[in-house]
Amino acid sequence: MRVKVAKYAGVCYGVERALKLAAEATESGRTVHTLGPLIHNPQAVLAMAERGVEVAESLDDAAEGTLIIRSHGVNPSIIAQAREKGLDVIDATCPFVSTAHQSAAELVRDGYTVIIVGESDHPEVEGIMAWAQGRAIVVEEVADIPAKLGSRKIGVVVQTTQSLSRLQAVVDALLPRVSELKVHNTICSATGKRQRAAEDLARDVDVVVVVGGHNSGNTSRLAEICSTVNERVHHVETADELQAEWFDGARDVGVTAGASTPDAQMAGVVAAIEAMGDGGC
């Protein structure tokens, strides 16, 4: 059984930057909190906790020290409130997410009704909505587009980890209904590369294993994309979740990983699959 790893897989620049900033913050000797999980990867969050980085669910949970704004970004008013409390704020918002923030703000400023293509309960989308001053409509798919848009001048931004096909479907559905449509494709380049590489890999192997947090939107999207071209797709966080029967009759196994998945975590899964192929347990 051969294991093939996607050409582009694993931790992206924005996540790597957030982890680096958090690690550096622990060297100050001050109390360090992240506002919500730093990234959507439970194993990485646990590793940071072992270094003294605690998760604060709200500003009330961070009384002093350093507060790290996670890679998904937040409402800008929260940063202002944190500084008013005397917290040392480190903004680890992914630069691609910041671009989505600015795009939403610009569209609102220019008089567009804004549509955000993404998951309404995802923290990144909540942040984009805040930058749109709460004056946006969130749609995850075409069926979510409301019957009345309130304007024929529409601006579109997209959650950075969404698929291009989903953005395209929403844009195609909007075109006949508006007189002016301005689209900001804010899908990050790392996401696009990982999605294309995962699909190519899935076409070329018998089984696909996608590694990353079960709470990670970008990892779940990789599994979803792979499933469109391969019926044998499994999403795991760690090697402990692997089941030998998944690989029955398989000659080639593909492995990819979400942008919030550290390389060591993916390597552990690869090694475990290889051990199964060699007759290990």
Tens digit of pLDDT per residue, the chain (281 long)? 899 999 999 999 999 999 999 999 999 888 999 999 998 899 999 999 999 999 999 999 998 999 999 888 998 899 999 999 999 999 999 999 999 999 999 999 999 999 999 999 898 999 999 999 988 999 999 999 999 998 889 999 999 989 899 999 999 999 999 999 999 999 998 888 999 999 999 999 999 999 999 999 889 999 999 999 999 999 999 999 999 999 999 999 999 999 999 999 999 999 999 999 775 43
CATH of domain 13-94: 3.40.50.11270
- Could you tell me the strand order of the sheet in which 207-211 lies? 2-5, 252-257, 207-211, 233-236
Nearest to 113 by CA among 161, 168, 174, 164: 174
Place of tokens 């089984």: 207
The answer to whether the CB of 246 falls within 8 A of the CB of 213 is no
CATH of domain 96-187: 3.40.1010.20
Nearest to 212 by CA among 250, 193, 238: 238
Would you call 180 a catalytic residue per the annotation? no
| pTM, 2 dp | 0.83
Q: Map out the domains of the chain as residue ranges.
A: 2-10+190-277, 13-94, 96-187
The CATH number for 2-10+190-277, chosen from 3.90.550.10, 3.40.1710.10, 3.40.640.10, 3.40.1010.20, is 3.40.1010.20
* Active-site option among 124, 126, 140, 199: 124
Asked if the domains at 2-10+190-277 and 96-187 fall in one CATH topology, the answer is yes
Query: Could you give the CA distance from residue 37 to residue 127 in angstroms, rounded to a whole number?
Result: 15
